[in-house]
Chain A
Amino acid sequence: MVESTVLLIAYIAGCLALAFRRQRAHGGTESTLAGQLRALGPGALLLPVALAGFGISVSVYWPAIAALIAAGIMVVFAPGLAARVLPAALIALGLYGFVLVRGFERGSQTPVLYGAVPAGPGGWATYLILPQAYAFLAVGLWLAWRTTGRSSRLASAVLWRAPEAAGGQRRPRWGLLLLPAVVVAMELLGFSWWFSGNGWAVRSTVVVVLATVLLVILAPALAADLAVVAVFALGIYGIALGALWPLHLPLPSAFTDQVRYGAIWVYDRPTALLAGLQGAGLLAFGLWLVPRALDARTRALFWPAPMPAAELAGRVRQLTQTRADAVDTAAAELRRVERDLHDGAQARLVALGMSLRAAERLIGSSPQAAAALVAEAIQTSSKALTELRDLVRGIHPPVLADRGLGDAVRALALDTPLHTVTDIDVPGRLDAPVESACYFAVAEALTNAVKHSGARHVQIRMQHAGGLLRIEVTDDGAGGADPLKGSGLRGLERRLGTFDGILAVSSPPGGPTMVVIEVPCALSSPKTSSC
């Protein structure tokens, strides 16, 4: 026993030492142990988690040894992968806790070491399993949450699939809460029932687990709504337990004289009071969740009059902000035009006049010098024209005025050095300011794709349906774009905000980068001309 403990500690220390060496070889600069551990990331925790496998192995040790070796290899050679595996390992460990409880309940389980406590049938040895299991589950879920949308592309693909999330941002991730909520609810009915082994119970267990997992993956918004409702219901049930014990509640658990509620075993008055406290905590958590996790429409279901005064005040605040932005933008734009005219065309016209005046003086005495000056004047006038043309393009591109947003974006695509495909369905003209704001937003997105993404292909999709203009600019570049950096997109976001439009950027590392612009606007009658 002692020898194997020493061996295990030596193994972990060796793995960490190798990982640090490898890190330093890749340019790590941390010198303290804590700093190195921080740089290694949460992946290092995979080693102790794998160690827990030894505790729960009863007679066969080789799976635990294999797990520990795999964990060591991952921590040393692929700390990023280890960090991504860690949440799954923790969740599995947490779920195993529930299986253990069920085993002890049926008397079919030999005592093992679960996490930090020796777990056995009856007494505290069993009671301490549940809080630990919940802790593992919570930490696992929290880590899974942290990694979604950042390193885990699968999770982000699933959870961020709906671009509608652009408005409500992080909301769908709350769907993950449904998993622990369902576990607690199942526990309330008694694990002995769910895992009793008769066909009917097995089938319901499989159905409930599958339905929950599918809901969380396929309909994260709905799962989030259900999770909030479940937290509320569980909280109220806990308070009822605390208040009404030992009165049996009209639930299947009533046929036993003890109930497992969350991390607490309720079998007498004091434990019932603890359950009441836990219920109050859950209720408070549910209330806290409402504005964060609940869908706006679902919220309206519970609060039929959605605080009109507050909503109006919010709208006024938003309008004040966007109006100020619009005025600022216009003023800045005018200053730019003034500066460009002053430094460019105006200066060239002055030079032109001076050249011509000098030529006029020289024409009698030295016709050749005069001719040279006139040639210079011609060049200056052509430069002035070029500058004026560029300036006009920056203010309001001529194609936009001629043909509207559709053709202007097609023209932009033609001028882009990347292979650009357009799919445009806008049968008519929009208001000129909206057209202009959208045009410059698309232009900025294309410029970013050319400059930063390393993309080869760009796709622009644009359609107007149901009073909403939606534009998507997608490139196949490296991704990892941060919309908060770079003032370009921010400025355009403000400009679009004047029309209640939004601009969202999704750019996971490894790409693809997708810029979505949505503006509510009306379409004027389709153009009648043939070209």
Chain B
Amino acid sequence: MRVVIAEDLFLLREGLARLLRAHDFEIAAAVDNPADLLRALLEQRPDIAIVDVRLPPTFTDEGLRAALEARRQAPGLPVLVLSQYVEQLYARELLADQSGAVGYLLKDRVFSDDQFIDALRTVAGGGTVLDPEVISKLLGRRSADEPMAQLSPREREVLALMAEGRSNSAIAQRLFVSEKAVSKHSTSIFIKLGLAPSDDDIRRVLAVLAYLSA
């Protein structure tokens, strides 16, 4: 699997590259600024891009903007955004084009490399992965008069895990239920949120989007 890395800190960039090589990823390019990132993404067309939110010159949200721009020019290009902090606002912007293949994680998640590599593969496969911190903020919210309120507590749990990018079997394991029960729950979620029958992956993305905007 070919990867483009955009990270301005040399140590982290090299650390990421080493970690990925150890898991049989191929580093197509490792860059440290938004202009090079955009060029690399559009020329190399990697299987996935790992982008730090803060890049030069202003060290604010250049990485995020570059990732959004790249996805505008190449829709559906899988992007995993890493950051020292997570914001629901940015998660929404990343998910807004509804084409999936998006991840948004805290940088610390790199520490547990198994989960990180899982997340990479999910995003590369068109899935959506949100950091548990975004999810926990969402769970803290009271959505009184929205379709979200119709979901049962169990269905909310399933949806939260779905937003973290977990597959049905992973969700089943986590909640100690059968995979069939999980797929029943997810069908019920799709119906309650008014999502028309279509490709399951797309419906998962739409469900997570509805969750974010509740």
> B-contacting residues of A (Cβ < 8 Å)?
378, 381-382, 385-386, 389, 392-393, 398-399, 401-403, 407, 410-411, 414-419, 456, 529-531
A530 / chain B contacts, CB cutoff of 8 Å: 65, 69
Contact A414 B108, CB 8 Å, known A402-B60, A456-B144, A531-B65:
no
Kindly identify which residue among B69, B84, B108 contacts A398, using a CB–CB cutoff of 8 Å.
B84
Kindly identify which residue among B65, B89, B92, B93 contacts A529, using a CB–CB cutoff of 8 Å.
B65
Is A378 a contact partner of B88 (Cβ separation < 8 A)? no
A329 → B minimal CB distance (Å):
24
Is B144 a contact partner of A419 (Cβ separation < 8 A)? yes
Is B111 a contact partner of A378 (Cβ separation < 8 A)? yes
Is B89 a contact partner of A407 (Cβ separation < 8 A)? yes
Is A389 a contact partner of B89 (Cβ separation < 8 A)? no
Complexed CA–CA distance, A530 and B144 (Å): 33
Q: Which 8 residue pairs across A and B have the least CB separation, nearest first?
A: A402-B60, A402-B61, A414-B88, A411-B89, A417-B141, A417-B142, A398-B85, A411-B87
A386 / chain B contacts, CB cutoff of 8 Å: 108
Kindly identify which residue among B65, B92, B111, B137 contacts A382, using a CB–CB cutoff of 8 Å.
B111
Q: Does B178 contact A (CB under 8 A)?
A: no
Complexed CA–CA distance, A47 and B43 (Å): 90
B155 → A minimal CB distance (Å):
20
Instruction: Kindly report which residue of chain B lies nearest to residue A416, judged by CB atoms.
Output: B141
Instruction: Kindly report which residue of chain B lies nearest to residue A381, judged by CB atoms.
Output: B111
A456 → B minimal CB distance (Å):
6
A411 / chain B contacts, CB cutoff of 8 Å: 87-89
Complexed CA–CA distance, A456 and B146 (Å): 13
B152 / chain A contacts, CB cutoff of 8 Å: none
B61 / chain A contacts, CB cutoff of 8 Å: 402-403
Q: What are 15 A-B contacts with C-beta separation under 8 Å? A: A382-B108, A382-B111, A385-B108, A386-B108, A392-B84, A392-B85, A393-B85, A398-B84, A398-B85, A399-B89, A411-B88, A414-B88, A416-B141, A456-B144, A530-B65
Which residue of B65, B88, B89 has the most chain A CB atoms within 10 A of its CB atom?
Answer: B89
Instruction: Kindly report which residue of chain A lies nearest to residue B92, judged by CB atoms.
Output: A414
Which positions 59-104 of chain B face chain A at CB distance < 8 Å? 60-61, 65, 68-69, 84-85, 87-89, 92-93
Complexed CA–CA distance, A415 and B60 (Å): 20
Is B88 a contact partner of A418 (Cβ separation < 8 A)? no
A346 → B minimal CB distance (Å):
19
A395 → B minimal CB distance (Å):
12
Count how many chain B residues have C-beta atoms less than 8 Å from C-beta atoms of the other chain: 21
Main secondary structure of the interface of B (DSSP, over half): loop
A133 → B minimal CB distance (Å):
55
Is A389 a contact partner of B85 (Cβ separation < 8 A)? yes
A397 → B minimal CB distance (Å):
9
Complexed CA–CA distance, A473 and B170 (Å): 43
Contact A531 B93, CB 8 Å, known A382-B111, A385-B108:
yes
Instruction: Kindly report which residue of chain A lies nearest to residue B89, judged by CB atoms.
Output: A411
A382 / chain B contacts, CB cutoff of 8 Å: 108, 111
Instruction: Kindly report which residue of chain B lies nearest to residue A383, judged by CB atoms.
Output: B108
Q: Does B188 contact A (CB under 8 A)?
A: no
B89 / chain A contacts, CB cutoff of 8 Å: 399, 403, 407, 410-411, 414
Complexed CA–CA distance, A438 and B186 (Å): 42
Is B60 a contact partner of A417 (Cβ separation < 8 A)? no
Q: Does B57 contact A (CB under 8 A)?
A: no
Complexed CA–CA distance, A378 and B109 (Å): 12
B195 → A minimal CB distance (Å):
22
Instruction: Kindly report which residue of chain B lies nearest to residue A403, judged by CB atoms.
Output: B61
B167 → A minimal CB distance (Å):
25
A419 / chain B contacts, CB cutoff of 8 Å: 142-145
Contact A531 B144, CB 8 Å, known A402-B60, A410-B89:
no
B199 → A minimal CB distance (Å):
27
Is A389 a contact partner of B60 (Cβ separation < 8 A)? no
A103 → B minimal CB distance (Å):
61
A416 / chain B contacts, CB cutoff of 8 Å: 141
Complexed CA–CA distance, A399 and B54 (Å): 11
Q: Does B140 contact A (CB under 8 A)?
A: yes
Which residue of B61, B84, B93, B143 has the most chain A CB atoms within 10 A of its CB atom?
Answer: B61
Complexed CA–CA distance, A386 and B69 (Å): 30
B118 → A minimal CB distance (Å):
18
Is A401 a contact partner of B144 (Cβ separation < 8 A)? no
Kindly identify which residue among A401, A418, A456, A531 contacts B68, using a CB–CB cutoff of 8 Å.
A531
Instruction: Kindly report which residue of chain B lies nearest to residue A378, judged by CB atoms.
Output: B111
B85 / chain A contacts, CB cutoff of 8 Å: 389, 392-393, 398
Instruction: Kindly report which residue of chain A lies nearest to residue B72, judged by CB atoms.
Output: A530
Q: Besides A382-B108, A401-B60, A414-B137, 13 other CB < 8 A contacts? A: A378-B111, A392-B85, A393-B85, A403-B89, A407-B89, A411-B88, A414-B88, A414-B89, A415-B88, A417-B140, A417-B142, A529-B65, A530-B65
B75 → A minimal CB distance (Å):
16
Complexed CA–CA distance, A386 and B88 (Å): 17
Complexed CA–CA distance, A386 and B145 (Å): 33
Is B137 a contact partner of A415 (Cβ separation < 8 A)? yes
A401 / chain B contacts, CB cutoff of 8 Å: 60
B65 / chain A contacts, CB cutoff of 8 Å: 529-531
B60 → A minimal CB distance (Å):
4
Complexed CA–CA distance, A418 and B143 (Å): 8
Is B142 a contact partner of A389 (Cβ separation < 8 A)? no
Contact A389 B140, CB 8 Å, known A402-B61, A529-B65:
no
Complexed CA–CA distance, A44 and B156 (Å): 57
Instruction: Kindly report which residue of chain B lies nearest to residue A419, judged by CB atoms.
Output: B144
B117 → A minimal CB distance (Å):
17
A456 / chain B contacts, CB cutoff of 8 Å: 144
A25 → B minimal CB distance (Å):
37
Complexed CA–CA distance, A402 and B88 (Å): 14
B63 → A minimal CB distance (Å):
11
Complexed CA–CA distance, A386 and B136 (Å): 15
Instruction: Kindly report which residue of chain A lies nearest to residue B91, judged by CB atoms.
Output: A414
A417 / chain B contacts, CB cutoff of 8 Å: 140-142
B145 / chain A contacts, CB cutoff of 8 Å: 419
B135 → A minimal CB distance (Å):
13
B88 / chain A contacts, CB cutoff of 8 Å: 411, 414-415
A403 / chain B contacts, CB cutoff of 8 Å: 60-61, 89
B112 → A minimal CB distance (Å):
9
Complexed CA–CA distance, A402 and B87 (Å): 11
Instruction: Kindly report which residue of chain B lies nearest to residue A407, judged by CB atoms.
Output: B89
Instruction: Kindly report which residue of chain B lies nearest to residue A382, judged by CB atoms.
Output: B108
A93 → B minimal CB distance (Å):
50
Instruction: Kindly report which residue of chain A lies nearest to residue B213, judged by CB atoms.
Output: A414
